[in-house]
Amino acid sequence: MLTNVAVLAFEGLAPFELGVLCEGFGIDRTAQGVPAIDFAVCAEDDRPMQTSMGFSIQAAHGLDRVAEADLVAVPAIPRGGIPPESVLQVIRDAYDRGARILSVCSGAFTLGAAGLLDGRECTTHWLYTQELQRRFPLAKVVPEVLYVDAGQIVTSAGTAAGLDACLHIWRQEYGAAVANIVARRAVVPPHRDGGQAQFIARAVPDCDVDTLGPLLTWIVENLGEDHSVESLARRAHMSARTFARRFRDETGTTPHSWVTTQRVAAAEELLETTEQPVEWIASQVGFGNAAALRHHFQRIRGVSPQQYRRTFCPAPAEATA
């Protein structure tokens, strides 16, 4: 279980991505029912370090503190820069003793320099995926995703995707209810569907159509409704073809895939926070029957609804207290 997080700091790091990790794990949310995390920012020594934005920071903990961590997190760094060998070595040591490693954005280059990407699926910001593959040819770079969970190693794409990866880890460790609390505190969605493709430059879509934000909110609040492309297009006052194109532009995925993911997320929380049977939960979130829920839950989460409930059933009372 995740109880101890160490973030590595070094000369030239990107302060925003450091802030993402501090937001993800460094804030005390115990008053809201989130388990306590022993959090520390660690550096080679206590000298001021220049960030990529021209100001300095100072870490309160040395690299010896990393040995206590269940999760070791690496912020972004300019791609030409490499942290000192002492930092790379503590990353290797953490990996060898079984700690989980998380990188944000170009922090993946640090993991590559430490030798941890060979033969492993990984990602980074979409601007840098080709360079990451070029510099570490044995890595299996996945360019179109927000983050890659390769088991012990989690790599995330651009800045906001770092928070997505943090929430993913919270969800894995403590369940959807706790991840939702963390997301609410950070004022971000607890789960984003789609991938980096939606952020790559493309032709500007038609400007005479309002954003789909209100419609997406309505869908989440009414998951039991019919959410076919045709019915959603009518609600959005578009043709089905225009709606499907706009939906992919704004979310990076299809309406069916997005709605299915939202239904699985809602089912997750009901599995944690109620004792209702799977059939009832399926009807509440819009799957219609338990077989459909089991199929999509297994496909998206990798476990059955009952396995998920057995794993996270003890957490709801604490998470919702």
Domains of the chain from N-terminus onward: 4-186 (3.40.50.880), 202-321 (1.10.10.60)
How high is the mean pLDDT of the chain?
88
Distance separating alpha carbons of residues 24 and 45, to the nearest angstrom: 24
More confident residue, 206 or 285: 285
Looking at the chain, how many residues does it have?
321
- Taking residues 17-21, what's their average pLDDT? 96
Least Cα distance to 91 among 106, 108, 79 occurs for: 108
Could you give the angle at the alpha carbon of 124 between the alpha carbons of 87 and 190, nearest 5°?
A: 100
pLDDT of residue 121: 95
Q: How far apart are CA 271 and CA 146, in angstroms?
A: 26
The model's confidence at residue 140, banded by pLDDT at 50, 70 and 90, is: very high
pLDDT level of residue 8 (50, 70, 90 thresholds): very high
Percent of the chain residues past pLDDT 70, beyond the cut: 91
* pLDDT for residue 170: 95
Per-residue pLDDT for 197 more than 60? no
- Cβ atoms 24, 89 nearer than 8 A: no
Place of tokens 């044995």: 138
**The pLDDT of residue 196:** 62
Instruction: Tell me the average pLDDT across 225-246.
Output: 92
Please give the model's pTM, rounded to 2 decimal places: 0.71
141 DSSP β-pair partners? 122
Distance between CA atoms of residues 59 and 242, nearest Å: 51
CA-closest candidate to residue 78, choices 120, 21, 125: 125
Q: Residue 136: its pLDDT value, please?
A: 96
Alpha carbon of 117 to those of 77, 136, 141, 202: distances in Å? 17, 8, 9, 30
Which residue has better confidence, 210 or 232?
A: 232
Instruction: Give 218's contacts (C-beta < 8 A, 6+ positions apart).
Output: 235
